[in-house]
Chains A and B, each alone.
Chain A
Amino acid sequence: MADYSAPEIQDDIHVPAVQVGSMAHLKPYPAMEKHMLPLGFPEARLADWQEKGIAKLGEMLKKYRSLQVHLDICVKCGACTDKCHYFLGTQDANNMPVQRADLMRSVYRRYFTTAGKLFPGLVGAKDFDEEMLQQWVTYFHQCSQCRRCSVFCPYGIDTAEVTMAAREIMDAIGVGHKYSTEIISKVHEVGNNLGIPKPALQGTLAFLESDMLENTGHEVRLPLDEAGAEVLLVAPSADFFSEPHIQSLMGYAKVFHQAGIRYTISSVAAEAANFGMFIGSFEQKQKIAKRIREEAEALNVKRIVVGECGHAWRVAYSFWNTLNGPFDFLDPRYPVPQHICEFTYDLLQRGALHMDKEANDGYVVTMHDSCNVARASRMGEHAGGQFEIPRALIRASCHHFVEMDPDTTHERTFCCGGGGGTLTDELMELRIKGAMPRVTALKQVMKRDKVNFMALICAICKAQFSKVLPMYHIPMETVGGVHQLVSNAIQLGVNKGVV
Chain B
Amino acid sequence: MLTILAYLVVGIFVVGFTQRILLYARSPAPLKIPTTPAPTTTAGVVWRLFTEVVFFNSLFKGDKWAWLGGYLFHGALLLVLIRHLRYFVEPLPPFFAHVQIAGVVAGVAMVGGLGLLLLRRLLIDRVRHVSSPSDYLWLLLLLGIGFSGLVMQFFLRPDIVHIKGAMMGMWSSSQSLPLLTLGDVVFLAHLCMVAVLIVLFPFSKLMHAGGIFFSPTRNQVDNPREKRHVNPWAAGQHTKESTHG
- Contact surface of A with B, Cβ cutoff 8 Å: 15, 17-18, 61-66, 68-70, 72-83, 93, 96, 98-99, 102, 113-115, 121-124, 147, 150-158, 161, 282-283, 286, 317-319, 321-328, 332, 335-337, 374-376, 378, 382-384, 386, 410-411
Contacts and interface: CB of A to CB of B under 8 A. Distances in A.
Interface of B: 20, 23-24, 27-33, 35-40, 44, 52, 56, 58-59, 61-63, 66, 70, 120-121, 124-127, 129-135, 137, 203-205, 207-208, 211-212, 214-218, 222, 224-225, 228-231, 233-238, 240-242, 244-245
Contacts of A115: 134, 203-204
A124 B236 CA distance: 40
Contacts of A80: 62
Contacts of A386: 36
Nearest to B219: A156
B59 A154 contact: yes
A375 B36 contact: yes
A83 B205 CA distance: 22
B245 A335 contact: yes
Nearest to A119: B134
Contacts of B235: 283
B21 to A, nearest CB: 10
Nearest to A101: B130
13 contacts: A63-B28, A65-B214, A74-B205, A78-B120, A78-B121, A78-B126, A99-B129, A124-B134, A151-B58, A152-B58, A156-B218, A158-B217, A327-B242
Nearest to A387: B36
A66 B132 CA distance: 23
Contacts of A81: 126-127, 130
Contact of B24 (A68, A76, A337): A68
B86 to A, nearest CB: 30
A96 B31 CA distance: 25
B203 A113 contact: yes
A96 B129 contact: yes
Contact of B35 (A122, A375, A382): A375
A93 B131 CA distance: 12
Given A66-B217, A321-B224, 16 more contacts: A66-B29, A69-B214, A72-B207, A73-B207, A122-B132, A152-B59, A154-B212, A282-B31, A321-B225, A321-B242, A324-B238, A336-B245, A378-B38, A378-B40, A383-B40, A386-B36
B154 to A, nearest CB: 30
A271 B131 CA distance: 44
B217 A78 contact: no
Contacts of A113: 203
B33 A63 contact: no
Contacts of B58: 79, 151-156
Contact of A79 (B63, B222, B229): B63
A328 B241 CA distance: 10
A96 B130 contact: yes
Q: Tell me the dominant secondary structure on chain B's binding face.
A: loop
B32 A76 contact: no
B131 to A, nearest CB: 6
A102 B130 contact: yes
Contacts of B230: 322
Given A81-B127, A124-B134, A75 B205 contact: yes
A376 B31 CA distance: 12
A231 to B, nearest CB: 16
Given A65-B216, A124-B132, A78 B124 contact: yes
Contacts of A98: 130
A177 to B, nearest CB: 21
9 tightest Cβ-Cβ pairs between the two chains A and B:
A152-B62, A326-B242, A124-B132, A156-B217, A79-B62, A73-B211, A78-B127, A65-B27, A79-B63
A80 B234 CA distance: 32
B29 A332 contact: no
Nearest to A373: B36
A155 B33 contact: no
A155 B32 contact: no
Contact of B30 (A64, A70, A79, A324): A64
Contacts of A411: 35-37
A77 B166 CA distance: 42
Contacts of A123: 132-134, 204
A346 B175 CA distance: 89
**Among A154, A161, A384: residue with most chain B CB under 10 A:** A154
Contact of A61 (B27, B70, B208): B27
A155 B52 CA distance: 8
Given A74-B205, A79-B59, A154-B56, A69 B215 contact: yes
Contacts of B33: 66, 158, 161, 318, 376
A322 B134 contact: no
Given A155-B208, A376-B35, A325 B238 contact: yes
A488 B210 CA distance: 53
A157 B215 contact: yes
Nearest to A67: B27
A76 B125 CA distance: 13
Nearest to B126: A81
B203 A282 contact: no
A322 B205 contact: no
Nearest to A99: B130
Contacts of B127: 76-78, 81
